[in-house]
Structure 1
Amino acid sequence: MKIFEEIESEVQCYARSFPCVFNRAKGEFMWDEDGNRYLDFLAGAGTLNYGHNNALLKKELLNYIENDGITHGLDMHTKAKGEFLQTFSDKILKPRNLRYTVQFTGPTGTNAVEAAMKIARNVTGQSNIVTFTNGFHGVSLGALAATGNSHHRDAAGTSLTGTHRIPYDGYLGDNIDTTEYLDKVLSDSSSGINSPAAVIVETVQGEGGINAARIEWLRSLQTVCRKHSILLIIDDIQAGCGRTGDYFSFEEAGLEPDIVTLSKSLGGYGLPFAVVLMKPELDQWKPGEHNGTFRGNNLAFVTAKHAIDHYWSDNHFSNEIKRKGQYVSQRLTAMADKFGDGKFTVKGRGMFQGINCINGEIAGKITKNAFTKGLLIETSGADDQVVKLLCPLIIGDENLKAGLDIVELAIQETCEDFDSFPNETLYFKAS
C-alpha cells in the first residue's frame, strides 16, 4: 500500500472504501493479494454487466490479439468496427425498430454526453439544455454543467452555464408531475427559460440515488419535448446495456429518443468504449468536429460484438435479468420491512436497485460492515444515503442470494449499533 500513499493523487475515491490491493477477478468475484475473496456488487460502477474476465468474451479477445488484429484505429474503417456495427444494427437496433446513426466518441461516458449536447446545440441553434435535479452526466465541464451534485460541481473551478435545472420525477413529492411544470415554463414567454436545444435525462439516476422515473412521467416528458420541438437525449450510460432488464432502459416506456448516449458496459469486457446514437437527420457534423485519439478502441469493438451475440440474440438473458431483479426487489423490500420501521425504502428497477437510508452515516456503516464480510458495495445519492446494488448481470442465483444475505446481516448489525435512529424524515430530494 506504500506506493499508493506516496505518489497517487488524493482524488482517489473507491480505494478509500476498499483498503486492500486487488490482483485477480473472475465473474462476480475479486481477490486481494492476501487471497481474500470478495463478492463484487460494484462491478466497475456498472461497467462489468457481464462479469470480470468473462470466459466467452476473453476467448474472442485473445484470439483477436493472437492474430495481430488492429488495436488502435482512430476513426478508420476496420473489420472489428464493421462487425460491431453490423451486429449492433441487426440484433439491437432493428429488432426494436430504432433507426440511429452511430458516432464513436472518446471512450468515456462524459465524452459521449459532451458530443450529444453539442449535436443538439448545433442542429437546433439553441444553447441551453434542460437537466434534472440529482442528475449525473460526467465531470468534464459541459457534462458537469448538466450534473446536479455539488461535490463534483464545486471542483470545476469556473462557472458552469448553458443549462436549466428542472425537478426530477418525485423530487417535489409523489403527487406532483414535474413535466407539467416544464410544459408551463416552456409555454410562458416570461418564465425566464428560453427555448432550449434539448432535454437530457437518466431514466434511473444512478449516482443521484437510484431514483427511477415512473413510466408515465417518462412518456409525458417525451410528449412535452415533442410539443415544444425540443430534442430528447437519454443518458443510458449506467442504466443501459441490460441493467434494468431490457437492453435500453427506455424500452419499457416505449420512448423514441432523438439521441442516446452509451458507455460503461457497452464494451462487454470492461474496455473503454462510448457511442452516441442519433436520428440520422441530426448527423450534421463536419469531419473531425468532435474527435478523440481513442475513439477507435478495436479491442472493445471485438468484445462488444460478441457480448451482443452471446447475450442479446434472443430474450433469454433479458428475461433472466428481470427474474433476478424481482428477487432483488423482494429481498430488499423484506429487509426494509424487517429492520427499517419506516427508516428504509427500496428504490430502482431491474438489477439497478438500492436501499435508501435516512442519512449517509447509516448507509456508510452498512457498506463498511458488508466489506468486512466479503462484499464490495457502495453508496450513492446527494448525501451518500443509498446503498447501491450493481452486481454483474450474469451472477448466479446462489451468489446473488449470498450477497443479499451479507447486505441483510450488515443492515441488521448496523441497526443494532444505533440505540435509535436520528429523528429525520426520508429524503424527498433523493426521490
Structure 2
Amino acid sequence: MTLTQPDLSVFETLESEVRSYCRSWPVVFDRAQGSRMFDEDGHGYLDFFAGAGSLNYGHNNPVLKRALLGYLERDGVTHGLDMSTTAKRAFLESFHSIVLHPRDLPYKVMFPGPTGTNAVEAALKLARKVKGRESIVSFTNAFHGMTLGSLAVTGNAFKRAGAGIPLVHGTPMPFDNYLNGRTPDFLWFERLLEDQGSGLNRPAAVIVETIQGEGGVNVARAEWLRALADLCERHDMLLIVDDIQMGCGRTGAFFSFEEAGIVPDIVTVSKSISGYGLPMALTLFKPELDIWEPGEHNGTFRGNNPAFVTGAAALSTYWADGQMEKQTLSRGEVVHSHLRAIVAEHPHPGTKYRGRGLVWGLEFADPTLAGRIAKRAFALGLLVETSGPRDEVVKLLPALTITPDELDDGLRTLARAVRECT
C-alpha cells in the first residue's frame, strides 16, 4: 500500500505526548464501517483491533445506528445522571431478560461511570465495604485500569509507575500456568491464607481476568477458575471477575466465566456493552452485597442514555437467539487453524499461540518481533496491536460480526507480515 505523508502537525503540536495508538498507525482516520477503517485519503484498513474490544459488533453497525439516530431525532434524554429514563428502563429490561435471567444470574446492576476503570473502582470499593477489609488479591500480568485503585491491582510495571505514589492494599499471586505447571495451583496463596505468620492481611476479595488481554492473552483454564472460586468461598473472600474486555461475547458466551460454570460475586463489564463504542460500564453484584447508601458512589456521566439505546439494540439483535455464541466459536476455530499454520511455518523456539473465541495472541521469544510484525501488517492494510509485559504478543481482536472473507483476508495478511519479518 502506497501512503502519502499525512499532516499530523496539529496532533504533534497540541496533543499530549501520552498518545500511543496513533504512533503505531500514523494516518488520520476519517470514517469506518463494519470491520474496515478508512483514512482521509481513502485507504482502507481491515480492523483486527475493534477499539480494544469496544466494537464487538463493528464500526457504525447499521442496526445500532438506526436505533441511536431515531432516539436523538425525537430528542430523547442524552444526559440523565442516575435519573429514571425510558432508555435506561429499556436497557435494564433487555439485559435482564436476554442476559441475566436465561443464565440464572441474580445480579443487581450498578452504573458506576462510563469507563472500565470506573467499574473496577466501584467493585473494589464495594468489596471492602462489605467485608470490612482493605486487602485485594490480584494476579501476575493483570490489567484492570489506569486509576489508582485499578493500578494497585495491575501487574504491568510501566503502568504502575505512572501513578507517582505507592500503590497499596493489593497483593499479586501467580496466574494460571505462571510457574509452568511446576507448582500445584494456589499452593502459595492458600498457605499464606492459613499461616498466621505469613504477613498477608486477610483479603476482602480476589480480582481476576479469565483471559488476560493486555497481559499477553493468557488464558485461564476452567478448572483453575473453579478452584479459585472454591478457594474464595472457603476463605470468605469475594470473587470479582473483570470481564471488561473479554465479556459481551468476546470468548463465545456472553460472559467469559460461563465456560467454567462459576458465578462470581461481582462482575465488571464495559467496552462493548454499549455495542456502538459509546462510553458505558456496569458493576454487577449479588443482591446481598447491595449495601450502598444512596449517593455513596456516584458520577456525573454514569447514565449515558445514548449508550443505553445502542446497548439494548445490541442485546436484542445479537443475543436473543443464541446464534452469536456459535458464530464466534466457529470463527475462533478458523483463527486457531491459521495461527497453527503460521507457527508450523515459522517453528522458532518460543513462538506460541493461544486464545478462545475471537481473542487470540501470537507470542514470540524476541520481544521486538511482535512490534515489527504489527508495523508490517499496518503497511499491508491490517490493524493489530501488541500486548504482554514486553509487547511480545501480536493480539487479535476482530469484531464478532466480521465476515468469513474478511477474517480469512486478515489472517492471510498476518501470515504474510510474519513471513516478511522472520
1:176 aligns with 2:220: no
Deviations 1:118-144 (A, max 9, x none): 000001001000000000000100000
Q: How many Å separate the matches in 1 of 2:283 and 2:184?
A: 29
Count of residues in Structure 1 that have an aligned counterpart in Structure 2? 415
SS in 2 for 1:44: helix
Q: How many Å separate the matches in 1 of 2:203 and 2:351?
A: 38
Cα distance, 1:174 vs structure 2: 2.8
1:50 aligns with 2:57: yes
The answer to whether the Cα contact below 8 Å between 2:133 and 2:204 also exists between their aligned partners in 1 is yes
In structure 2, the partner of 1:327 is 334
Deviations 1:182-207 (A, max 9, x none): 22211111111121000000000000
In structure 2, the partner of 1:13 is 20
* TM-score where L is the length of structure 1: 0.95
The answer to whether the Cα contact below 8 Å between 1:336 and 1:342 also exists between their aligned partners in 2 is no
- Aligned positions of 1:140-159 closer than 5 A: 140-159=147-166
SS in 2 for 1:3: helix
Deviations 1:62-115 (A, max 9, x none): 000001101000000000001100110001001001000000011000010000
The answer to whether the Cα contact below 8 Å between 2:353 and 2:362 also exists between their aligned partners in 1 is yes
Q: How many Å separate the matches in 2 of 1:340 and 1:379?
A: 20
Cα distance, 1:370 vs structure 2: 0.3
Give structure 1 stretches of 5+ with no counterpart. 416-431
Cα distance, 1:116 vs structure 2: 0.1
For 1:161, which of 145, 158, 168 is the aligned residue?
168
1:258 aligns with 2:253: no
In structure 1, the partner of 2:314 is 307
Q: How many Å separate the matches in 2 of 1:340 and 1:33?
A: 39
The answer to whether the Cα contact below 8 Å between 2:377 and 2:384 also exists between their aligned partners in 1 is yes
Q: How many Å separate the matches in 2 of 1:402 and 1:180?
A: 45
The answer to whether the Cα contact below 8 Å between 1:355 and 1:388 also exists between their aligned partners in 2 is yes
Deviations 1:223-279 (A, max 9, x none): 000000100000000010000000000000001000000000000000000010000
* TM-score where L is the length of structure 2: 0.97
Deviations 1:261-306 (A, max 9, x none): 0000000000000010000110111111111100010000000001
Q: How many Å separate the matches in 2 of 1:246 and 1:183?
A: 30
Aligned CA-pair RMSD? 0.8
- Bigger shift: residues 359-368 or 381-390: 359-368
Q: How many Å separate the matches in 2 of 1:199 and 1:156?
A: 22
Cα distance, 1:23 vs structure 2: 0.4
For 1:376, which of 353, 377, 383 is the aligned residue?
383
- Bigger shift: residues 273-282 or 328-337: 328-337
Cα distance, 1:175 vs structure 2: 4.1
SS in 2 for 1:31: strand
In structure 2, the partner of 1:391 is 398
- Aligned positions of 1:216-231 closer than 5 A: 216-231=223-238
Give structure 2 stretches of 5+ with no counterpart. 1-7
The answer to whether the Cα contact below 8 Å between 1:101 and 1:278 also exists between their aligned partners in 2 is yes
SS in 1 for 2:225: helix
